[in-house]
Amino acid sequence: MAFESLSERLSQAMKNITGQGKLTEKNMNDMLKEVRMSLLEADVNYGVVKDFVARVKEKALGQEVMESLNPSQMVVKIVRDELQELLGSSDTELTLNPDGLTTVMMAGLQGTGKTTASGKIARYAKQKLKKKVLLVAADVVRPAAIDQLQTLGQQVGVDVFTLGPDVTAVETARQGLDYARENGHDLVIFDTAGRLHVDQALMDELRQMEELIHPDNILLTVDAMTGQDIVNVAKSFDDQLDITGLVVTKMDGDARGGGLLSVRSITSVPVVFVSGGEKMEDLEQFHPDRMADRILG
């Protein structure tokens, strides 16, 4: 199927409509149908699409068509503004502790790219924020996670703290925190365990770690490719933990940003980073305005 951008589709929908002046409700409904279809095709959550279209309709109806714009451009502008509002009005940074040690706790289901993101954020904090970073291997559930984190640490040139798979995650976190204080690190990233599904044991462990660390940042990794399910997963984590930001991974497989849009609007937690590949440099700070452009096409 040929890729048709949302703005192209709206122009197309306007082609049959002649005359200037106010958009009629009928014309508007034709255009809103295109908006709805386009978002659903991008795998945006159904409830999110419904609310979104209702808000666009409310704003658009009755508005005078400006001289310099044709009606489709006006709708595109309203859609763009709505998207921007949904995605967040400004960039979100990591929260840095001005008095010393900044802590970042990672959370997320297994396979979402949490360990990979820990390495990428370590690289980012070292290079961009000029921090002395420590990675703490507190995922003692997935057998290869500790080795993986050590390899990533080596690759990006930051220290990795581990007590091996036989010590609990909470104890590892406790000692990792002490180690960072004693060794002059100023930013610590805790890679935590995931599970294949959200379960209470996972949440209990994460909450214990939250109480122990009092993290400045709790970043939830969500996989953009999981479609509609991304919303349920993010909601479960957000209900139980004080999530401060999202890391949306595998954006290389979600060209139209449907997953990101859904999760952002349901949790109202800001997206801090997006990851678009497996390599350590494939991490970007999230810019809502650029994402709005990408969705509009």
Annotated binding-site members for GTP: 108-115, 191-195, 249-252
Shortest Cβ 116–ligand GDP spacing (Å): 3
The size of the interface with ligand GDP (CB under 6 A), counted in residues, is 18
With binding defined as CB under 6 A, does residue 257 bind ligand GDP?
A: no
Site stretch for ligand GDP (CB under 6 A), options 46-54, 209-217, 258-266, 273-281: 273-281
Sheet-wide strand order for 271-275: 159-161, 133-138, 187-192, 102-108, 217-223, 245-249, 271-275, 283-285
Cα 281 to the chain's mean position, in Å?
17
Site stretch for ligand GDP (CB under 6 A), options 10-18, 42-50, 165-173, 244-252: 244-252
Shortest Cβ 189–ligand GDP spacing (Å): 12
Contact with ligand GDP (CB under 6 A): which of 63, 95, 110, 208? 110
With binding defined as CB under 6 A, does residue 277 bind ligand GDP?
A: yes
Look at strands 187-192 and 133-138 and give their pairing: parallel
Rounded CA-CA distance 1/12 in Å is: 17
Residue 207's alpha-carbon distances to 225, 235, 237, 238, 242, in angstroms, are 27, 16, 10, 12, 9
Residues belonging to the binding site are: 108-115, 191-195, 249-252
184-213: which residues touch ligand GDP (CB under 6 A)? 194
With binding defined as CB under 6 A, does residue 250 bind ligand GDP?
A: yes
Look at strands 271-275 and 283-285 and give their pairing: antiparallel
Number of CB atoms found within 10 A of residue 253's CB? 12
Give whichever of 1 and 196 is closer to ligand GDP, judged by the CB atom.
196
Which residues of this protein are in contact with ligand GDP, per CB under 6 A? 108, 110-116, 142, 194, 249-250, 252, 275-278, 282
